[in-house]
Amino acid sequence: MRRAVVAGLVTVVVGYTGAFAVVLTGLRSVGATPAQAASGLAVLCLTMGVATIGMAWRYRMPITIAWSTPGAALLATAGVPDGGWPAAVFAFIVTGVLLVITGLVPWLGRLVARIPTTLAQAMLAGVLVPICLVPVQSVLTSPQVIAPVLLAWLVMLAWKPRWAAATSVGLALVIAVIAVALGPGLGSLPAPGGALVFTLPVPSWSAAVGLALPLWLVTMASQNIPGAAVLGTFGYQAPWRPALVVTGLGTVVGAPFGGHAINYAAISAALAASADAGEEPSGRWRAAVVAGAGYLAFGGVAATITGLVFAGPPGLLQAAAGVALLGALGSSLAGALAPSEGRESAVVTFLVAASGISVLGVGAAFWALAAGLVVRGVTLGARQGFRRRDARSRAAESVL
């Protein structure tokens, strides 16, 4: 039991500290005020905690639910949609509905699975590039603030890679605490609790297409599918459809309070499912329950943490988010460019996503995937046609 508790605590600490800066950055980028961003962070922790405890208890598996870190990165580069923050909230609701439908309609899940992984990874990599460039740019303008964060990341990357992102973000928090203590004082920060702020959603077709659809796709391709696969590597048969329904409903419930999406944990899933959580696989579900309780606790202090971050040195949050996503950028690029066949379509997808263009109010992520699919369809279709023609020519020559 002790090992399960420790593994659960490690899971929640790594999962939270390694990505909360990305979540806040993403919510702010689509129009949330600091109070609304704090609300989004809080409701994500609450829905994640409840869903994790419920799923782990129900199925007696170390199922951990997380926020969509790639989805938050997507928001960070999407910009404020037409209709502002209420339109973004509408997009979050649509994302949750799409997740529920994916769980209820099997062929839709199979359709998502047919999207080439290389294109999904290329889209994610293109979305991550602008965020990961922030630490490089910020270290020149604020070296005294950003350089220690980068140094902490580098040291931990060499020593304990799993803790590299969490350590760098944790140090950023320490720097923010010092800055606030020397400035307005820690008493100026919001008290724990009371962070939830309701926003009435405003329907917007551009937000639905430009935010919700890419958010759903990147959450499925980069979180849900890998998350279920991670559980499979430890011998667990993940409850695929029930988890999609639960996380989809959790997303719908949390959306009016600023939560963008919850899903299967991918990166932190192994922490609760491995032997570190106990020798007997049948007992490792307790680690997930502990992690879920930890997320509930973090939800209670979301307003304080958010206030601390936004009161700290300018650019520190964005730089910490960029450092936290360096590993995700590397793995996305590797996955996108590894196969030689169709590499051009992955490059096109990456470039369009990184460009940040917006057409008809629809952001770059959607157009990136569309462009990649077109290039892939044309090039691979033409090559297959040439191969068939050459095969027929060789067959005719052999007959003659």
Q: Is the pTM of this model over 0.85?
A: no
**Average of pLDDT values for 77-96?**
94
How high is the mean pLDDT of the chain? 87
**Average of pLDDT values for 9-16?**
85
**Average of pLDDT values for 70-87?**
91
pLDDT, tens digit (0-9, with 9 covering 90-100), for 222-258:
889 888 888 888 889 889 899 999 999 999 999 999 9
Tell me what pLDDT residue 386 has.
59
Tell me what pLDDT residue 54 has.
96
Tell me what pLDDT residue 94 has.
97
User: Where does the pLDDT of residue 306 fall: very low under 50, low under 70, confident under 90, or very high at 90 and above?
Assistant: confident
One-letter-per-residue 3-state SS of the chain:
CHHHHHHHHHHHHHHHHCCHHHHHHHHHHCCCCHHHHHHHHHHHHHHHHHHHHHHHHHHCCCCCEEECHHHHHHHHHHCCCCCHHHHHHHHHHHHHHHHHHHHHCHHHHHHHHHCCHHHHHHHHHHHHHHHHHHHHHHHHHCHHHHHHHHHHHHHHHHHCHHHHHHHHHHHHHHHHHHHHHHCCCHHHCCCCCCCCCCCCCCCCHHHHHHHHHHHHHHHHHHHHHHHHHHHHHCCCCCCHHHHHHHHHHHHHHHHHHCCCCEEECCCCHHHHHCHHHCCCHHHCHHHHHHHHHHHHHHHHCHHHHHHHHHHCCCCHHHHHHHHHCHHHHHHHHHHHHCCCCCHHHHHHHHHHHHHCCCECCECHHHHHHHHHHHHHHHHHHHHHHHHHHHHHHHHHHHHC
pLDDT, tens digit (0-9, with 9 covering 90-100), for 35-54:
999 999 999 999 999 999 99
pLDDT above 70 for 20 = yes
pLDDT, tens digit (0-9, with 9 covering 90-100), for 103-155:
998 887 777 777 788 888 898 899 889 888 988 888 888 888 889 999 999 99
